[in-house]
Chains A and B, each alone.
Chain A
C-alpha cells in the first residue's frame, strides 16, 4: 500500500437536515439510474449509457460540499453528477430518451448531460479531455477572483491518458482552484485498472509528480467523501491550489449498456455489493436515531418523482427536425456562408 491519507472517522454534514439531504440525493441517484436501466431494457433508451449504480456516494458527497456557483465537469458517466447539481429528473431522463423536453433538446444524449444554469458545465465523452477544461474554468475563477472552484470527475482509466497529466501539471503550476476527483471503480472499461497501470493507486500515486498530497477516500462512504471534498474545496478557495482525490468505489453493473460485466469474479462483485453505499448510509442514519418512517418517506418521495419523470419523458414528443440546424453558432444558427 502506498502512502495515503484515509479518512477513518468520517463526520459528513453536521446538520441533521443536511444528512438527510445527503441520503435523499443518494436515493435519487440510485433510483434514477435503476429506472434508466429499466428503460434501456424496454428499448426506450437508444445508443449507449453508463450508469453510476454503486458510485452514488461520490456524486452526492461532493455535490453537497460545493457552493452553488462552483462548477462541475463530468464524464460520459454523468447522469448522477448532473442530477446532484440540481438538474431536475424529467429533462435528464427525457434526454436519455431523445425527447424534445430533454435537457439538451435531444442533441447530446446520455453522454453529454449539461445544465449550465446549475453550473454543471458538461459531461465529456472523450476520456481525459475535460480535465483541461476544468483547469481553464479554474483559471477564469482565479483571474476574476470570484472564489469559485471547478470540480472535475473522471474514472481511473483517465489517469493513463495525456490530458490528465497536462491538466494536473498546469493546475499545479498555476495553483488553480480545481478539485480533480478520480472515481476509481477498479476497471478502466472491461480491463482491471491494475493490469494496465504502473502504480497501485492510479490517481493518488501520481499526485507526488505534481507536488500534490496523495488523497484516497472510501468512495462508498458519502460522509467521508463529503469531508474530503470540503477540505479540498476550502484549500482551493484559500488560493492553495488544486487537489487530486482518489475515491475508491465499484460499479454495480458493467461499463456501459452493452456490457454485462461478466469478466469480474463473482466473489468480488458480492463483496462490493455488500458494501453498497446507499444501504450503508441508511443504516448509519438509523444508528444515529433517525426514524425509519422518515427514511421511508424520503424513499417513497423519490420513487414518486422518478415515476413522474418517466411519464413526462415517455409522453413527450421527439425533437422537431428544425433543431438540427440550430445552436452551432452563438447566433443560434449553423450557417457556414454569408
Chain B
C-alpha cells in the first residue's frame, strides 16, 4: 500500500471555529480522560459556535455547561488535572481571565514548582482573544502577553484552522498547562485543512512566506495582515518580506526566529496587544542580545497604541495594526 504523501493528502475547507470543534473531538475520541467544560459550551455549542455537536457525541459527563463562575471553571479544571483527567476549559472571552487570574497565575502556574514537582496540571484553557468585532474594551483585548509573563504557563495562538486543530491536539497531550488563544476575528475565516488526525508541536514558529529584505514576526490575526502587507510591499515597492507565524509564545521558538531574522537583517514585529510589555518587546530584546551583529537596522514594533480598545468601527480599525500600517512602517524603514 502506497504511503499517503503530502500532495495526495485530501483536504477539507473549514472555518477556524469548525477546526476548534474538530480538534477537541479528535482528542476526546482518542483519550477518555479528556473532558470539556465552560459557559454555554454544551447545549448551546458555545457563544462563538466553536463547540457544537460535542455534547451530542460525548454526552453530558464529558461535555459540561458551567455557571458563570470563571474561578470555578479553571479551578475545577486544575483539581481534575492534578487527579488524573485532562480537562479543556473554555473562558468565553480572554478578558474574563482577569476574573480567575488567581487560579491561573497563582495556583495552576506555580503549584508544580512550589511542591517540588509533586503535582502536574495537564490542562488547556481555551479562550476567544482579540479585537475587530466592535465589542469594546472588555471583550476585545489581546492578553496573550499577560500569560507570557507568568512562569509555568505555556501560551499558544494559532492563525489558521489546520494549526488550530494540530496545536490544540498538542496542547491537550502536553503534560503542562497551556493557554490557547483563539482569535475571534478568525473564527469565520475559511481555510483548507488536511483530513485525518492532526498533531502539531508546541514551541514551533513557522515561516509562512519567504523573503529576502525583512522579517515580519506576527501572531494570530496579525499573520494574515502581515501576509497581505508583504504582497503589497512586493507589488508596490519591490520589497520582499519574509513572514513568520510565531504561533507559540511559551515555549518560544527562538531558533527559528533568530535564523529568520538573521537571514534578512531586519525585523518587524506585529502585535495586537498594547505597546508596553507586548511579546514583541521580549523578542526584540532577545534578538538584540543574541544576533546583534546580524541586524542591519533598528527593530520595528508595530502594536496597538497603549490604550484600551475603542468600540466604533472606524476607531477600532485605526487602533489595531492593519496591513496598511505594516506596509507604511516597512517602507519607511527600508526606503
Which A residues have a C-beta under 8 Å from some C-beta of B? 71, 73, 103-105, 107-108, 112, 114-117, 121-122, 124, 126, 129-141, 143-144, 148, 150, 162-163, 166-167, 169-170, 173-174, 323, 326-332, 334-338
Taking a contact as CB atoms closer than 8 A, the residue among B83, B102, B117, B118 that contacts A332 in the complex is B117
Of all chain B residues, the one with the shortest Cβ separation from A105 is: B116
User: A residues within 8 A CB of B118?
Assistant: 104, 114-117
User: A residues within 8 A CB of B74?
Assistant: 132
A86 to B145, CA, bound (A): 41
The answer on a CB contact under 8 Å between A166 and B114 is no
Comparing B63-71, B230-238, B319-327, the segment that makes contact with chain A is B63-71
The answer on a CB contact under 8 Å between B83 and A71 is yes
**Is B92 among interface residues, defined by CB-CB distance under 8 A?**
no
A122 to B103, CA, bound (A): 14
Comparing B220-228, B248-256, B269-277, the segment that makes contact with chain A is B248-256
The answer on a CB contact under 8 Å between A135 and B82 is no
Of all chain A residues, the one with the shortest Cβ separation from B205 is: A338
User: A residues within 8 A CB of B122?
Assistant: 330
Min CB distance B271 to A, Å, is 18
A337 to B175, CA, bound (A): 17
Which 6 pairs show the lowest CB-CB distances between chains A and B? A132-B75, A136-B79, A330-B175, A136-B76, A327-B117, A166-B72
**Is B80 among interface residues, defined by CB-CB distance under 8 A?**
yes
Of all chain A residues, the one with the shortest Cβ separation from B87 is: A136
Which B residues have a C-beta under 8 Å from some C-beta of A? 35, 61-62, 64, 66-67, 69, 71-72, 74-85, 87, 102-103, 106-107, 111-120, 122, 151-152, 175-176, 203-204, 250-255
The answer on a CB contact under 8 Å between A336 and B111 is no
User: A residues within 8 A CB of B254?
Assistant: 337-338
Q: List 8 A-B contacts (CB under 8 A).
A: A169-B72, A170-B66, A328-B113, A329-B175, A331-B175, A336-B250, A337-B254, A338-B252
User: B residues within 8 A CB of A116?
Assistant: 115, 118-119
Min CB distance B329 to A, Å, is 26
The answer on a CB contact under 8 Å between B251 and A338 is yes
Of all chain B residues, the one with the shortest Cβ separation from A111 is: B114
Min CB distance B238 to A, Å, is 34
Min CB distance B324 to A, Å, is 33
Min CB distance B125 to A, Å, is 13
Q: A114-B115, A116-B119 are in contact. Are A166 and B69 (CB under 8 A)?
A: yes
A135 to B67, CA, bound (A): 14
Taking a contact as CB atoms closer than 8 A, the residue among B79, B87, B112, B253 that contacts A330 in the complex is B112
A166 to B66, CA, bound (A): 10
The answer on a CB contact under 8 Å between A133 and B176 is no
The answer on a CB contact under 8 Å between B79 and A170 is no
The answer on a CB contact under 8 Å between B112 and A133 is no
A337 to B204, CA, bound (A): 10
Taking a contact as CB atoms closer than 8 A, the residue among B62, B67, B79, B255 that contacts A166 in the complex is B67
The answer on a CB contact under 8 Å between B67 and A131 is no
The answer on a CB contact under 8 Å between B116 and A130 is no
